[in-house]
Structure 1
């Protein structure tokens, strides 16, 4: 049963379509505008404070891609969460199929930003991602009701949400009349964290079981201290409890026997959950300038670390570090062979 009212995503699509129509109507002027924007450069440290930068990126995206691509690239909040790590501060090298970070790079060109988007579009699962994000966009911002459940359930399935999770979503909606879907997902996130605490086997020392055969540190400082002691490099994994791509990657890649052996024998693995809802003591809470909100949970600390030290705010994302905590390389989701190559080259 389709909603009779116009959804937020529909209104967004219509507005974007109107923009595209106007672009087509002024094709010559637009080409000049696109060409001139491609030549622009920005100081990385100032980008987050520049609304003009985000507006110009949106304009460039629509020069080449469609509204759904723009939503994926810009992120739900329109603040470039993917580009922050994948394009603005990370450059691809020919010698390794991962990304190496230049801490001295100050300027970024729009041409590099667009190249990052082009690389993202080449990901083997991008078409699947488009379909899933397109389905989710239709319910984000909507009020979740039992009346519209049949239609919403079909969208959740198209978005790749599993049956078990859909059942939990339905219960949350039944127990919370008038709840917005943003709140539904927040409650789902909290439940996932609580369930993980219950289901997680006993820790081994300071390590916690991530998957069968792999125990990891969940405290950055403890993992770094161990790396200095053992002399092994670090694999730093920024993770989220509700990330479907992360769960797929752990199942399909991290559980590979050769990768498990490489990680256990040659790395100290640190997994930082950015949505860990463990409350900090009141005297440990503080305001984060980079996050622009209060830091009240362990996950907030992990997110702040990722934003401040690794110029990124999306998950899953991997960094290899030396024993001094300095970045060696980084990688997003790749296949078994690519990830193994990333690990082996990071050891050298």
Structure 2
């Protein structure tokens, strides 16, 4: 989004973050998520936010409503929910629910290289730009 370097695959983004020595910012989003677009248009476009997202973190946007089928050998039935995980969106939705105990979007999580432990509190829909800048700065500082 907004011409920011971004991964849509968690594993690839995690590997890149380790390679370049930056924290991860997970962006749980959806194609049909109105509040996600509002954040991108009203907060992420701000120069201070945009610069931090571009330079200080590895952005991984995971679309929980992505309908592209997973390869047959990667489809499974969730042991947690009992749902069949057959497409990319199902996979990221379950990943969000299992690892971060949330099911709503947008959800933003700053992680270290273990890929599962939030470095600071999670963030969600909030159009206050300074709050978002402060949150990003706390996450990057916690990583260092």
Q: How far off its partner does 1:290 sit?
A: 2.3
Equivalent of 1:327 in 118, 121, 138: 118
Q: How far off its partner does 1:322 sit?
A: 1.0
User: What is the rounded CA distance, in whole Å, between the counterparts of 1:271 and 1:304 in structure 2?
Assistant: 15
* Counterparts of residues 73-92 of structure 1 (less than 5 Å): none
Aligned residue number for residue 87 of structure 2? 297
Aligned residue number for residue 74 of structure 2? 284
Equivalent of 2:131 in 312, 328, 338: 338
Is 1:251 aligned to 2:18, yes or no? no
1:289-337 CA-partner distances (Å, limit 9, x unpaired): 2232111101111011101111111110100001222211211122111
Ranges of 4+ aligned residues in structure 1 off by more than 6 Å? none
Equivalent of 1:229 in 15, 19, 25: 19
Unaligned runs of 5+ in 1: 1-209
The 8 Å contact of residues 277 and 297 in structure 1, kept in 2 or not, is answered as yes
User: What is the rounded CA distance, in whole Å, between the counterparts of 2:79 and 2:102 in structure 1?
Assistant: 15
Q: How far off its partner does 1:285 sit?
A: 1.2
Q: How far off its partner does 1:269 sit?
A: 0.4
User: What is the rounded CA distance, in whole Å, between the counterparts of 1:292 and 1:302 in structure 2?
Assistant: 15
1:86-125 CA-partner distances (Å, limit 9, x unpaired): xxxxxxxxxxxxxxxxxxxxxxxxxxxxxxxxxxxxxxxx
Q: What's the Cα RMSD here?
A: 1.1
User: What is the rounded CA distance, in whole Å, between the counterparts of 2:16 and 2:71 in structure 1?
Assistant: 25
Tell me the matched-pair count.
Answer: 138
| TM-score for both structures, normalised by structure 1 | 0.39
User: What is the rounded CA distance, in whole Å, between the counterparts of 2:75 and 2:34 in structure 1?
Assistant: 30
| TM-score for both structures, normalised by structure 2 | 0.91
